[in-house]
Amino acid sequence: MTEIEWWDYEDAAEMADALAGDIQFIIEAAIDARGAAVIALAGGKTPLPIYEKLVKAKLDWKRVTILPTDERIVPLGDPLSNVTALGKTFIPKGARVIPIVPAATEDYKAAGRSADALCQDLHWPLDLCLLGVGGDGHTASIFPGPDFDEALNGPKERRALGVMPEPLPPEAPVARVTLSRAGIASARALMIAISGKAKKKVLEDAIKQGASSSYPIGRVLAEVELPVDIHWSEQ
């Protein structure tokens, strides 16, 4: 079971200040050590204030590759696309962004295989994986459903896969591509940013339950070896 450190913030702005600085440090260290940084960033609303701060960082962005931790299987430009939302907030000049779902398709497993092939061509392990967590305990797009076990316990070398959440999440009722647990757990640094603590208090127990948790986030973290920082903001 991984070692978890909890960080509390009054509001999303305070968390954004702290995390933008931490992420900048991780990117700089990766560039110093390996000449480049590959980072996976969460979709959803929580990280947006972080990205708005981070985009102003003075970094050698042309050495940074960015991919989403998960993506909805919709056309690029669709408001539901995480890469499209990211592009509106945060595509630093010179950074390379990997749209892991370059085109919509009915065949979500094929979309997953194509995303995995894109990830296989990237320097792995990720230097950073920044995850969000939904109120139902999903993280990235690891949701309960027919592909849940494959996302958690698929081959270690598989970095991404297609999933069909069941039930479909109301905020984005579409199939997705997600990093696998193995892809997430192999990251050199894993950060989790959760907003609206009062509404998501159940996640504290879910995370602490680890492998026996019925929540995806608990199951994902149960296999993570390196220490994990969990950042909560009240709002």
Among 114, 141, 186, 213, binds ligand 6PG (CB under 6 A): 141
Options 36-44, 95-103, 154-162, 184-192: segment touching ligand 6PG (CB under 6 A):
36-44
Number of residues that bind ligand 6PG (CB under 6 A): 17
Burial class (CB in 10 A: 0-12, 13-18, 19+), 35: exposed
Please, how many CA atoms are within 13 Å of residue 167, restricted to the half-sphere of its CB?
A: 4
**Which of 45, 123 has the CB closer to ligand 6PG?**
45
Cβ-based nearer residue to ligand 6PG, 30 or 50? 50
Residue 71, token pair as written in the block? 């993506």
Q: Name which position in 46, 84, 114, 180 contacts ligand 6PG (CB under 6 A).
A: 46
Give residue 168's identity as a one-letter amino acid code: L
CA–CA gap between residue 121 and residue 123 (Å, rounded): 7
Write each residue from 79 to 118 as x if it is in contact with ligand 6PG (CB under 6 A), else as -, in one continuous string: ---x------------------------------------
CB of 43 or CB of 59, closer to ligand 6PG: 43
Judged by CB under 6 A, does residue 233 bind ligand 6PG?
A: no
8 A C-beta contact, residue 50 and residue 222: no
Query: Binding string to ligand 6PG for residues 54 to 73, with x set by CB under 6 A, is what?
Result: ---------------xx---
Binding of residue 183 to ligand 6PG (CB under 6 A) = no
Shortest distance, CB of residue 43 to ligand 6PG, whole angstroms? 3
Residue 5, number of CB atoms within 10 A of its CB:
9
How far apart (Å, rounded) are the C-alpha atoms in residues 23 and 154?
29
Least distance from ligand 6PG to the Cβ atom of residue 7, Å: 16
Q: Which of 116, 115, 192 is nearest to 156 (CA)?
A: 116
Instruction: Work out whether 132 is an interface residue with ligand 6PG (CB under 6 A).
Output: yes
Strand pairing class (190-195; 160-163): unpaired
Residue 49, interface with ligand 6PG (CB under 6 A)? Answer: no
Are the CB atoms for 116 and 160 separated by under 8 Å? yes
Around Cβ 56, how many Cβ atoms within 10 Å?
Answer: 11
Smallest distance, ligand 6PG to C-beta of residue 76, A: 15
CA 231 to chain centre: 14
> Binding residues for ligand 6PG, per CB under 6 A?
42-46, 69-70, 82, 132-134, 138-141, 172, 195
